[in-house]
Amino acid sequence: MSLAGAQTLFRKEVLRFWKVGFQTVAAPVLTAMLYLVIFGHVLDKHVEALPGVGYTSFLVPGLVMMSVLQNAFANSSSSLVQSKITGNLVFLLLSPLSHRAWFVAYVGASMVRGLTVGLGVLLVTVWFAPLRLAEPWWILVFGALGAGMMGSMGLIAGLWADKFDQMAAFQNFIIMPMTFLSGVFYSVHSLPGVWQALSHLNPFFYMIDGFRRGFFGVSDASPWLSLLVVCCSFAIVAGVALRLLSIGYKIRS
């Protein structure tokens, strides 16, 4: 019963964002394309972020992964907050679903949205710069882990927030800075020593750097180190989300 319920909730969450796909999928793809056109046009002839890799080519994987992370987070967080505000969360609380079923459904749907947007960004932006698939398994691994981690983090934000203002603050003051300061638009090797050290404390850096490794075969950090950091970060965030769901944090009172 729990498995069937998780499948139903997962399907409901996927349909929720797909029915407004122009806003949830097309708009992020357009935003990423604008970033590419503006930054690529201005800096392509002046910056070489990685040896032998043009700046526009370097930028594409970063924009793809940034879109995956931001949209995976937005899906689970906005769904929970919306359910709280409209009052329909009570129907889920009355269902015989375990906290694990909630987690699988919400995080699974967030991964679908994040990876769908990321694929859309890749298909649109790849026309602007040549890419190669040097080590494609890293693309799949870091894409899935990144989407799963951000879907879990979105669950935590959605459980904590009581209104959209609080969720927006979580996204604007935590998610956005960590994403933009993770090497999407630059190589951390171009930073001064102090800022390089701070960048290596950011788990988003390892997600994006490992994802980019799959395209070019070169990266700022070892992909195995990146994999270790991302897996540990995912385990911690998922554990916190599961714990909050199990005790009904701010949804059973």
Question: For position 79, what pLDDT does the model report?
Answer: 93
Find out whether 230 and 210 touch, Cβ atoms under 8 Å: yes
Find out whether 77 and 171 touch, Cβ atoms under 8 Å: yes
Whether this prediction's pTM lies above 0.85 is answered by: yes
Residues in the chain: 253
Residue 29 neighbours by CB under 8 Å, 6+ apart: 67, 117, 120, 121, 124
Across 18-92, the runs of DSSP E, i.e. the strands, are: none
Apex 53 CA angle, 51 and 56, nearest 5: 140
Question: For position 47, what pLDDT does the model report?
Answer: 66
Question: For position 46, what pLDDT does the model report?
Answer: 63
Question: For position 246, what pLDDT does the model report?
Answer: 92
Question: For position 203, what pLDDT does the model report?
Answer: 93
Question: For position 54, what pLDDT does the model report?
Answer: 79
Question: For position 146, what pLDDT does the model report?
Answer: 96
Q: Where are the domains of the chain?
A: 2-40+55-247
Question: For position 252, what pLDDT does the model report?
Answer: 75
Amino acid identity, position 169: A
Question: For position 253, what pLDDT does the model report?
Answer: 61
Average pLDDT along the chain, 253 residues, taken 10 residues at a time: 79 94 93 86 68 81 94 95 89 87 96 96 86 91 97 95 89 88 81 80 93 90 95 97 93 74
Question: For position 44, what pLDDT does the model report?
Answer: 65
